Amino acid sequence: MARVTLKNLRHSYMPDPQGPDDFALKGLDVTWRDGGAYALLGPSGCGKSTLLNIISGLLTPSEGAILFDDEDVTQMTPDERHISQVFQFPVVYDTMTVRNNLAFPLKNRGVAPDRIKARVDEIAEMLEVTEMLDVRASNLSPDNKQKISMGRGLVRDDVNVIMFDEPLTVIDPHLKWKLRSKLKELHQRIKLTMIYVTHDQTEALTFADEVVVMQDGEVVQIGTPVELFERPQHTFVGHFIGSPGMNVLPCDAQGSHAIFEGHKVALEGAVTGHGGEVRLGIRPEHVRIGETGLPAQVIKISDVGRHFVVEVQIGESRLKVIVEGTAPTQGETVNVSFIPEKTRVYRNGWIATEVPK
Ligand code: ADP
Ligand code: MG
């Protein structure tokens, strides 16, 4: 087990990269705590697989270093790094039985036969594939093959880190939830550093103690699910996490207020910085419809079961409001207010209000 540190990591797939656009990773400084359960979350193409392949040693970064505890492993081979990596699509030996597939990573490292058997049985039980142990892998369905692939990643107990690269893509939806909770359970038992890559916020938030959010080759925030929800450091995080995501609205900033559609709006703290593109960020959960506030017109109401998502128009802006209990009626004029402690401005995407005392 190890703490993994990425130092000023940059990577380009081009032989002669020029500007930032030529880099798939644009300068990452991240520390993954020993024993942590992490999710690496971001849209397709943001650099998640590139990052995993650099940690495992399949790729050498253009610049920067990777440390396991205090040891620089940047030039080490994948094998020397003692890492398990589970890929998006199954990697199994078709001609071998399930048992031999699971045993392979252990046999390869000269683990004693009785120890191998115990470990394979344990992993098989966890993944509910015990009855398939003597089946040839070629006869398995795609999701069972992927389960075996995950099992091969989990079977070694001498690894520094286990990494999963969108492992549930080919898995049936109802099985997904089950496997994810199994992984979480396993993590709680063995406390190995795990990095789970996904583009799905639900997967990330249910698996991880901490989520690393990436956008376009950069880390935009690292935090617990609660931190990402409560205080997004970037509009991207606010929008990407939450259902629906944070409202991001054009505004001006003035002292410790925002001017939104001609109205003065109180913020969590004083505004920092100058210039750039200024936006008001407020989650639908933190907007109230009541007796006082900005006049707004109700445009649309969606009943999503637990509550209503109400879309309102204020001047030129549209925003979403989560309403518990009774919903207003369409076309009605209502008053809308923002909880000041949850209302922030963002400058060029980044949070630009001071933390309240
Ligand atoms: P993700 O896993 O988040 O979907 P990737 O790490 O696969 O993202 O890709 C990040 C960027 O690097 C993308 O723009 C992708 O097109 C590019 N890329 C990935 N692999 C290669 C490769 N082998 N050669 C060239 N460009 C690549
Ligand atoms: Mg990928």
The mean pLDDT of 259-277, rounded to a whole number, is: 95
Q: Which of 99-103, 106-110, 167-171 holds the top average pLDDT?
A: 99-103
Q: If you take atom 24 of ligand 1, which residue's CA is the nearest one?
A: 13
| Cα 318 versus chain centre, distance | 28
| Cα 97 versus chain centre, distance | 34
Indicate whether 171 and 121 sit together in one domain: yes
Q: If you take atom 22 of ligand 1, which residue's CA is the nearest one?
A: 13
The pLDDT-based confidence of 220 (bands split at 50, 70, 90) is very high
The pLDDT-based confidence of 190 (bands split at 50, 70, 90) is confident
Indicate whether 190 and 331 sit together in one domain: no
* 235 occurs within a structural domain: no
333, two tokens: 């004029």
**What is the per-residue pLDDT across 306-336, written as a single tens digit (0 to 9) for each?**
999 999 999 999 999 999 999 999 999 999 9
Mean pLDDT, the chain, as a whole number? 94
Task: State the ligand closest to the CA atom of 41.
Answer: 1
Q: Residue 189 above 90 pLDDT?
A: no
Residue 11 beta carbon below 6 angstroms from any ligand 1 atom: no
Q: Which residues of 202-219 are buried (b: 16+ CB within 10 A; e: fewer)?
A: ebbbebbbbbbbbbbbbb
Domain C-terminal end among 169, 203, 230: 230
Q: If you take atom 25 of ligand 1, which residue's CA is the nearest one?
A: 13
Indicate whether 25 and 153 sit together in one domain: yes
Indicate whether 24 and 131 sit together in one domain: yes
Q: If you take atom 17 of ligand 1, which residue's CA is the nearest one?
A: 24
Indicate whether 67 and 115 sit together in one domain: yes
**What is the per-residue pLDDT across 44-89, written as a single tens digit (0 to 9) for each?**
999 999 999 999 999 999 999 999 999 999 999 999 999 999 998 8
Residues 301, 264 contacting (CB under 8 angstroms): no
Indicate whether 118 and 37 sit together in one domain: yes
Give the domain range for residue 155. Answer: 4-230
**Crossing angle for the helix pair 113-126 and 98-107, to the nearest 10 degrees:** 130
Residue 89 beta carbon below 6 angstroms from any ligand 1 atom: no
* 236 occurs within a structural domain: no
6, two tokens: 């990425």
Indicate whether 17 and 121 sit together in one domain: yes
Q: Where are the alpha helices (DSSP H) in the chain?
A: 48-56, 78-81, 98-107, 113-126, 142-154, 173-190, 201-207, 225-230, 235-240
Domain C-terminal end among 172, 204, 230: 230
Q: Which residue has the higher pLDDT, 126 or 28?
A: 28
* 240 occurs within a structural domain: no
Task: State the ligand closest to the CA atom of 15.
Answer: 1
**How many domains, the chain?**
2
For the domain that residue 253 is a member of, what is the CATH number? 2.40.50.140
Indicate whether 214 and 267 sit together in one domain: no
Indicate whether 120 and 222 sit together in one domain: yes
Residues 210, 36 contacting (CB under 8 angstroms): yes
Q: Write out the residues surrounding ion ligand 2, Cβ under 5 A.
A: 49
The pLDDT-based confidence of 249 (bands split at 50, 70, 90) is very high
* 131 occurs within a structural domain: yes
CA of 45 relative to ligand 2 center, distance in Å = 7
Indicate whether 32 and 136 sit together in one domain: yes
Q: If you take atom 14 of ligand 1, which residue's CA is the nearest one?
A: 45
Residue 48 beta carbon below 6 angstroms from any ligand 1 atom: yes
Q: Which atom of ligand 1 is nearest to the CA of 53?
A: 6
* 64 occurs within a structural domain: yes
Residue 13 beta carbon below 6 angstroms from any ligand 1 atom: yes
First to last CA, the chain: 38
The best mutation among 14, 40, 44, 49 to test binding of ligand 1, ranked by most ligand atoms within 8 Å of the C-beta, falls on 49
For the domain that residue 46 is a member of, what is the CATH number? 3.40.50.300
Phi, psi of 185 (to 5 degrees): -60, -45
Closest of 223, 239, 335, 313 to residue 279, by C-alpha: 239
Q: Residue 98 above 90 pLDDT?
A: yes
Indicate whether 60 and 143 sit together in one domain: yes
Residues 6+ apart with CB under 8 A from 122: none
Indicate whether 109 and 206 sit together in one domain: yes
Task: Check residue 172 and give its pLDDT.
Answer: 83
* 202 occurs within a structural domain: yes
Task: Check residue 265 and give its pLDDT.
Answer: 97
Residue 46 beta carbon below 6 angstroms from any ligand 1 atom: yes
* 165 occurs within a structural domain: yes
Task: State the ligand closest to the CA atom of 87.
Answer: 2
Domain C-terminal end among 198, 230, 262: 230
Q: Which atom of ligand 1 is nearest to the CA of 50?
A: 6
| DSSP 8-state secondary structure symbol assigned to residue 243 | S
Task: Check residue 171 and give its pLDDT.
Answer: 84
**What is the per-residue pLDDT across 130-160, written as a single tens digit (0 to 9) for each?**
999 999 999 999 889 999 999 999 999 889 9
* 340 occurs within a structural domain: yes
Closest of 184, 152, 226 to residue 36, by C-alpha: 184
CA atoms within 13 A on the CB side of 268: 21
Task: Check residue 180 and give its pLDDT.
Answer: 86
